[in-house]
Chain A
Amino acid sequence: MRLGRARRARRRPFVSATTLDSAFSRRSFAIGTAMGGIGALLAGRLAWLSIAQNEKYQLESESNRVNLSLIPPRRGWILDRDGAPLASNRADFRVDVVPERMADAQATVAKLGEILALAPDVLADVQKRVAGAVGNQPVEVATGLDYEQFAAISVRLPDMHGVIPQRGFSRFYPTGPSVGHLIGYVGPANAEEYARDKNPLLITPGYKIGKDGLEKQFERRLRGVPGARRVEVTAAGRIVRELETREDVQGKPIQLTIDGPLQDYAARRIGLESGSVVMLDCETGEMLCMASMPSFDPNSFSAGIGSVEYAMLRDDERVPLRNKILKGLYPPGSTVKPMVSMAFLKEGLDPKQTVFCGGGLRVGNRVFRCWKRGGHGTVDMAKGIYQSCDVYFYHFAQAIGMDPIAAMARRCGMGQTFDLPVASQFFGTVPDPAWKLKKYDRPWASFDTVNATIGQGYMLANPLQLAVMAARIATGRHVEPKLVKSGKRAPFAAADFSPEHVALVRQAMSDVVNGPGTAGRAKLPVPEVLMAGKTGTAQVVGLNLSDGKSGPWKYRDHGLFIFFAPFDRPKYAGAVVIEHGGGSGAAYPIARDVMTFLFDPAKALDALRGFEEGWGGTAQQRLATKYAAYAAAAGIEAAPLPRSEADIFARVDAEARVQANRTEQQGGRTFEPRPEANPVSTGTIPGAAPTVPAAGAGGNAM
């Protein structure tokens, strides 16, 4: 009972109105206190957010509100020696897309293609780039829009996220393909380039970086400082108003030593041939033209290389993507003879000393033939040069040996690279006994010397080296080529040729053109200016395969010509190399016209116009026609494009190396010059009948 009562008492305490009233008072007070506590907590939280953390949140609010977009800087111009632009910027309307921000990129791009009436192959390329874009990387859809197209896209923007129409500047190369290899081109940065340089500028729509040539070499200088536009945007990304715009700072210009009109002239003058023209100022070393044709139009590469265009360029056996001036290696042929003469003179050979050329020279038990099977008769050094007599050089080279000749070749620039702002130059080969032993593990043979003295066999040079060789022989000075205009520099060091030797070789080279030499048709149509030169014909296959002039293009001889003018006070020097041109006859008319252009542009242009009518327009026009025809034939399904432009050019380089290597390896045999390899000025081509039996002509085994 007591226990039960006690439990009841505990479980049910006495409850009355009074106790409930006081419980209410206590509990409502507690609730009021709790409310006040929470109120204080809220006030504290408010103070913490808006007072203590104010700065942080203000910053975050600003970064919400304000969208900073970069304005791609205008690229610095590339100017020629007279300040005319070789690469400039053109204001235009453009449209880019950022695939990452697009809901259905393919559909939107297709719609853009419809609005802009893009050609199917162009659209296919854009779609491929869109599919391959990584991260925030923008993809260019089109540039050079007219205002109506720009407006048509702008009004549809709310339905097309990630589409960025804007007014900007596009790179413009007024002479197009003429400067393709020299200047290079620009294009949007690819994912690897962005990974290397995490500059947000690289993924700004409309920004291009240099991809090749000088555009790439001088990227930093040309780039400039981007401008910025601060705009207020809504959460959905709509621009409410512009807050502030900082103008971009244009990149610094680069003035080249190139003579723009000459460059264009030379490129156009090459015409349908595949070749290169290099000219430089002998006194300063300034490069006046470096034309390599056929080429690509850098204007059409600015959105990236189209797959149809790439396929066309790649399939062309004249390798338009290769800069033949730096990466074309050719047997220099007879153009080395003035240099070899210099070596003879340096070794003390009396230039009056003669040798009898009867069409060949017996060395040991072999006979090496002169290109003139009938023989040149008595030949001294001057005649050896202007008549390009092989026997003269065979004979004295045997006496003097290869090493002095190789040393002279190197002194003249062969086998050398020059301090130029280019990505790479090929060295070529100046063979000597040590080199052969090292590379082929075979001793030097007498026929190797014979080959080398007429610029065949292992010997390989690029057109730039040939031009430098011409300049050094012409001036007797150690001319160093340069490409960027700068202040005066000290005269070049003498190349320790004696003035008499120089004068003698100059005269002999003048006689090549102006006397009884091999290139009479190269005489300048300019009064009182005499051009000196030396022809060369480089055979690429054995006599049994081709006559060098007809048949498969690949088997025809290279035509070479080195030259300078005026012959007695050399101002300009250069080299022309025409691949598979069928002999030096393809090269020296070009040299003549290009040199004429420097003295009498009107006359030279008249000549060119006549040619171009026959060829079907300027290089740029022909390229456009060719592309249209190719694209029509190929349709939009062209071969897949390499991943990046760098790969494209790496492949081009690799192919060039393979080809040079192959040419060099063919040098390991006895060389037999083609009978009529060097046409003579008299026009009477010597009879074909060889007077010396062709004993051991093909014997390349030791």
Chain B
Amino acid sequence: MSIVPAPVARQPWRMLIPLIALVIFGALVLYSAGAGDWNRYATSHLIRFGVFLVMAAIMTQLRREFVQFMAYPAYVVVLIMLIAVEAIGFVGGGAQRWLDLGFIQLQPSELMKPAIVLVLARFYGALPHGLIPTWRALVPAGAIVAFPMALVLLQPDLGTALAIGFGGVTVMFLAGLPLTWFVGAGAAAAVIAPLAFFFGLHEYQQKRVFVFLDPESDPLGDGYHITQSKIAIGSGGGFGKGFGEGTQSHLSYLPEPHTDFVFATMAEEWGFAGGLFVLFVFAMVLSWGLSVARRSKDRFAKLLAAGMTATIFFYVAINLMMVMGLAPVVGIPLPFLSHGGSSMMTNMICVGTLMMVNVWNRRAPRGGLTA
């Protein structure tokens, strides 16, 4: 009925086309951020995307049962890696986030973000419905989330710890735990947060928050990042200064123009229009992700897809709020635009998982109680 072969037509192009366009756009931005050198950031960005897209395609072939089966082991393996990182850091004397496997420098905390969603989806997918409003729904899940969070906080990496927590809480919320618990937890957090802020955070992290509240208080130190990023975005105007014409990035006023502040680099050269395009693509990807979750046939797949979507969303929201001066500086890259293997891997695992659930949805007819 169509000239397009069925395996091609089956792909979720509604999400894939904008995503590929965004990655190519990201490569252009990185080309500019690399001072007009493809080899500096842009080529590796495209290659990584290509590699992880293949990985995502392979993931789509996994069976639901296999994934369910692998959920706990995967979580445990990542947790062990996190502990290993901690141990090596302890022995080596100093903070460490990387695990050098020889061929790749692996950041286990990145892997933990999809892993936490997977394991909680597995947990709630298997939990008898009747136990949902009981402590048996909360305590194991809380432990599953809290343990890796604590490990990551020790690194210390507040941004990633929050991302893990956000993924976990989102899955718990969608799993149907009583709303009052979340309200209560929110109220408790409001009380604990100030205490945690003053006693739990490192001084540099506290300073970042203070500086976020008043960037001008430290125009050459921490506030410098926020201020320069706002200048880059603001000076772009409607359509930007032109490709390769960004002065904030090219003259090194913008810190990290290819990683955390890549959005500012982009907005300076492409303006409001470029920014809207990026927001549009993320809206397409995320709404597709939620629609995949809604179309899912069982709780495991629903929670898995929604959790992955939330994880991507967390990255996007925190990074953009940070570069636009709405959140303190936390080291969180922007998915698909920032240069960096770990972030690309995490996000592509999320996308791959969504594509996998999408395949499951298509294969099995919608049924209520098949789980």
Contact = CB atoms under 8 A, between A and B. Distances in A.
The SS class assigned to the A binding surface is helix
A60 B227 CA distance: 10
B134 A12 contact: yes
Given A28-B306, A61-B232, A39 B279 contact: yes
Contact of B290 (A28, A46, A51): A28
| Residue from the set B237, B287, B325, B371 with the largest chain A CB neighbour count within 10 Å | B237
Contact of A17 (B174, B231, B287, B368): B368
A28 B251 contact: no
Contacts of A131: none
Contacts of A25: 294
Contacts of B79: none
A366 interface: no
B339 interface: no
Contacts of A54: 234-238
A50 B299 contact: no
Given A15-B129, A15-B133, A18-B368, A49 B233 contact: yes
Given A50-B236, A54-B235, A42 B251 contact: no
Given A234-B251, A240-B251, A31 B232 contact: no
A57 interface: yes
Interface stretch (B51-59, B106-114, B142-150, B316-324): B316-324
Contact of A35 (B237, B248, B302, B313): B313
A50 B276 CA distance: 11
Contact of A57 (B173, B233, B310): B233
Given A50-B234, A57-B230, A24 B279 contact: no
B174 A31 contact: yes
Contacts of B369: 17
Interface stretch (B1-9, B36-44, B267-275, B354-362): B267-275
A148 B276 CA distance: 55
Contact of A46 (B130, B231, B279, B313): B279
B293 interface: yes
A58 B174 contact: no
Contacts, number: 148
Contacts of B276: 43, 46
B235 A58 contact: yes
B132 interface: yes
Contacts of A58: 234-235, 237
Interface in B196-240: 228, 230-238
A20 B252 contact: no
Interface residues on A, range: 35 or more
Contacts of B371: 17
Interface string B290-322: 100110000100110010001001000100110
B294 A235 contact: no
A12 B275 contact: no
B234 A53 contact: yes
Nearest to A46: B275
Given A15-B133, A17-B129, A45-B324, A39 B267 contact: no
Given A61-B231, A61-B232, A235-B251, A49 B129 contact: no
A315 interface: no
Interface in A52-90: 53-54, 56-58, 60-62, 64-65
A62 B303 CA distance: 49
A236 B302 CA distance: 51
A442 interface: no
Given A50-B271, A65-B251, A31 B129 contact: no
B176 A15 contact: yes
Contacts of A65: 247-248, 251, 253
A51 B272 contact: yes
Interface string B274-290: 01100100110011001
B310 to A, nearest CB: 7
Interface string B238-252: 100000000110011
A11 interface: yes
Nearest to A232: B251
11 contacts: A12-B134, A17-B368, A24-B302, A28-B294, A42-B326, A45-B324, A49-B233, A49-B234, A50-B267, A54-B238, A234-B253
Given A43-B279, A61-B268, 7 more contacts: A17-B299, A31-B306, A42-B326, A49-B324, A60-B235, A65-B253, A235-B251
